[in-house]
A and B are shown apart, each in its own frame.
Chain A
Amino acid sequence: MNFFNLIRLAWRALIRNKVRALLTMLGIIIGVASVITMVAIGQGSKQSIRDQLSSMGSNMVTVRPYSNQTVGGGAMLGPSGLQTLKITDIEAIKKSSPHVTAVSPVVSSSGQSINASKNWPVSIQGVYPDYFSIREWKLKEGILFTDKDVKTSSKVCLLGQTVVENLFTNGENPIGKVIRFNNIPIKVIGILEEKGESTFGQDQDNIIIAPFSTVQRRVLSIDYVQNIYASAIDENSSEKATNEITAALRKAHKLQNSEEDDFTVRTQAELISAISSTSELLTVLLAAIAGISLVVGGIGIMNIMYVSVTERTKEIGLRMSVGARGLDILMQFLVEAIMISITGGAIGVLLGITSSKLVTVFLSWPTLVSEPSIILAFAVCAFTGVFFGYYPAQKASRLDPIEALRYE
């Protein structure tokens, strides 16, 4: 019997028992739909965590001073008290790190900002213009300062949203105004876009950003660099960038092989992969639970196929007597089982996609329907059809035609 006839035969057998076929499919439909929805929820939460981290600059590499030296009395020195990073390190990194696209030193301080009668506690950061691209921080209004401003220690700054809200309460435009930070007058030239809270609950918008030299000399009066921020070409090259920065800094600091680094280099990728792996595990667990329901659906198919074989024993006998081989009978029932599972699978895929959308709409959970999950669910249910359909079909194909014909 050719394939087309097999399909037609199976289709007709299903149509003949519509309700039964539908109920049998239900197991598969629910299984496939839940696999797709669960994976979509898992992937969606993973994606949203990644996006959040990426908004901090996904290819960001940070350098902090580090030391295991102790001062008198055995107290360890914290990184903020160290002065190992110099402005010359920036040039060293720029020169010898091909995987680094942008570098900026950072110095920061905190104090009171004042505008007319309003004042507000805030931290100020001194950076290079590259810092904004490293942190993927965008300008909402006004302009950025330039390399020239850094060179001349211009008294200009950009305000974070929180600062704007607290210093300019009556809706006036801050741009062009002069505010005071620790009694130093600084002109506002731009406003930063809102960044919201960081993953760790810090308000990232309570900030004033000014040219590096302005903060270093005029505010802090120091000659070293507190942190260095750099960005790698992309997320994947951040490890290479880390190695290059380490090598450049060791050379610049003239460290012997036996000496430890006097700095630490961190990437965002480490953080991302740590958090991602947690949600990856969640996805696998959800998919496994859904997978079990697919197996249960498969058992449903097997059950109904056994019933179907018994019910149609006489038909099998007749088919054999007019020349059907065992294989023909096997294929007839196998195709029927596969058709149940594939039809169920197709409906399940549609239902899964729909319910993922509904989850996003009504629960506002992020979901991401991924193609591999659809393909996988579909493949598993086709396999389910073959696996659970095979034994009943084999039973049918091994019937003795004489016995089968006589069956009542």
Chain B
Amino acid sequence: MKRKILEIHDLKREFKMGDEIVRALRGVSFSIEEGEFVTIMGSSGSGKTTLLNVIGCLDKPTEGVYLLDGVNVKQLSRNQLAKLRNKKIGFVFQSYNLLARTSALENTELPLLYNASISSKERHDKALMALEAVKLSDRLHHLPNQLSGGQQQRVAIARALVNDPVMILADEATGNLDTRTSYEIMSLLQELNQHGKTIVFVTHEPDIAAFSSRTVTLKDGRVIKDIKNENVKSAKKALAALPVSDDY
């Protein structure tokens, strides 16, 4: 049996808004095994952002169990959560969130700066390897404003890879990109997945979900569908099938 990266049982998250209690998650259960490429889908208001925050250890559930790589998140303090994020999760955001006026290399090094056990030499080497994995070895010293959107997102993926996390957590990572670049990013993620990386991808675009091996759909704070995708589309082929635009 494969290692369970993530286990969620009857997860609930409630917010107090004045006198009213908003129940964003009303009992969500599923688990993810090592090497899966899962998309979490749902329309806005379905609770997917809340779920993402909990999975990303940025937020704690009100009720229920969440085990990340065997660690029960609910009992951890703020600092322990930070450490867990640092070691086990790689975030990729919709708006890239790169540090301005900071080179691609240094942006990639960022998570390792908060890991005291890594020397500066190691940090440099690991960042180089991560940038190589996203095929940006020739852009090491470029600043974010000198990179295209797709390249910036690849730097962000490199940053998510650099600490060798158990899971890459992407939040609408293709939301700001055109179709072609989106496919490029998906192709890259598929490639990483084939090398064994577990990926959780939150999106509301069905055609992106088609590239994943499993789709969990949320509605009103509950899982309404959880299906394995038997017929995973290859992003590489989809990319090749796109008409070559020569408008410019």
Residues of A within 8 A of B (CB): 1-2, 5, 16, 314-315, 317-328, 401-402, 405
Contacts and interface: CB of A to CB of B under 8 A. Distances in A.
B130 to A, nearest CB: 13
Nearest to A2: B116
Given A322-B86, A326-B79, A16 B101 contact: yes
Contacts, number: 58
11 contacts: A1-B113, A318-B93, A318-B99, A320-B58, A321-B91, A322-B85, A322-B163, A323-B115, A325-B79, A325-B83, A325-B114
B111 A323 contact: yes
Interface centre among A314, A319, A321, A327, by most chain B C-beta atoms within 10 angstroms, is A321
B56 A1 contact: no
A315 B82 contact: no
A405 B83 contact: no
B114 A321 contact: no
B110 interface: yes
A321 B56 CA distance: 8
For chain B, the bracket of interface size reads 20 to 34
A323 B99 contact: no
A319 B110 contact: yes
A326 B78 CA distance: 8
A321 B85 CA distance: 7
Interface in B55-113: 56, 58-59, 78-79, 82-83, 85-87, 91, 93, 97, 99, 101, 110-111, 113
B114 A1 contact: yes
B85 A323 contact: yes
Classify the interface of chain A: helix, strand, loop or mixed.
helix
Contacts of A16: 101
Interface centre among A1, A5, A401, by most chain B C-beta atoms within 10 angstroms, is A401
B97 A320 contact: no
A322 B110 contact: yes
A314 B97 contact: yes
B154 interface: no
Interface centre among A16, A320, A323, by most chain B C-beta atoms within 10 angstroms, is A323
Given A1-B113, A319-B110, A405 B97 contact: yes
Q: Which 7 A/B pairs are nearest by Cβ-Cβ distance?
A: A323-B86, A322-B111, A323-B114, A325-B82, A318-B97, A325-B79, A323-B85
Nearest to A317: B97
Given A319-B110, A321-B85, A326-B79, 7 more contacts: A1-B113, A1-B114, A318-B110, A320-B82, A322-B159, A325-B83, A402-B59
Interface centre among B58, B91, B111, B163, by most chain A C-beta atoms within 10 angstroms, is B58
A370 B84 CA distance: 53
Contacts of B87: 323
B53 interface: yes
B93 A405 contact: yes
Interface in B108-131: 110-111, 113-116
Contact of B114 (A314, A315, A317, A322): A322
